[in-house]
Amino acid sequence: MTAFECTLCGKCCMHAGGELIEVEKRLTSRDFLCRQKIIGGTFRARIEERFLDAFRDASENKAHPSWCPFLRGLPGEEGKYVCTIHNSRPLICRSYTCCAMRIFGPDGREVGKVKGRRSLDTGDAALRRCWDESIAPLTTDDDIVWRTEVTGTLERAGYRVEAYE
């Protein structure tokens, strides 16, 4: 398996961030007491030294209330976003992987992704059919067994699969 490489697109923190994290109190110029809204409990967030300047510019956040309060654009890199509390981000963010697998067709083009735990994201009708017929019926709860079976099934159907840890 390959290690997942985040492209810093920021989508995960734009769509769910605001529902996930709430700032309760500013403790110092860099530290915040925060609440994890979904699983409850508080944690201390510390803005990384390297992101202090980026953090100070909250103009984009004001226009996007669904964003996590700690998400910022990466200065000088259009379309890239960073978690300014990366080292002190909560467990729920540490364990999140947006893409469990990438699926490539015989010509090497990416034709689909497995998002979250087991959801296929594809616009490719043949892959969708293959998934619905051969993969959706798999019943195992064991994710490692499931990944092995999915990879084998897709490879026999002519696809190449990159599965992430």
Q: Which of 139, 164, 141 lies closest to 151 in space, CA to CA?
A: 164
Find the Cα–Cα–Cα–Cα dihedral 47, 48, 51, 57, rounded to 10°: 10
In the complex, least distance from residue 5 CB atom to ligand SF4, rounded to whole angstroms:
8
- If one asks whether residue 6 binds ligand SF4 (CB under 6 A), the answer comes out as yes
In the complex, least distance from residue 128 CB atom to ligand SF4, rounded to whole angstroms:
22
| Closer Cβ to ligand SF4, 10 or 73, answer by number | 10
Contact range with ligand SF4 by CB under 6 A, out of 13-21, 50-58, 128-136, 146-154: 13-21
SS3 content of the chain, % helix, strand, coil (to 5): 35, 25, 40
- Contact mark string toward ligand SF4, 91..130, x via CB under 6 A: --x----x--------------------------------
Residue 110, C-beta contacts closer than 8 angstroms, at least 6 positions apart: 102, 103, 104
Size of the site for ligand SF4 (CB under 6 A): 19
SS3 41: coil
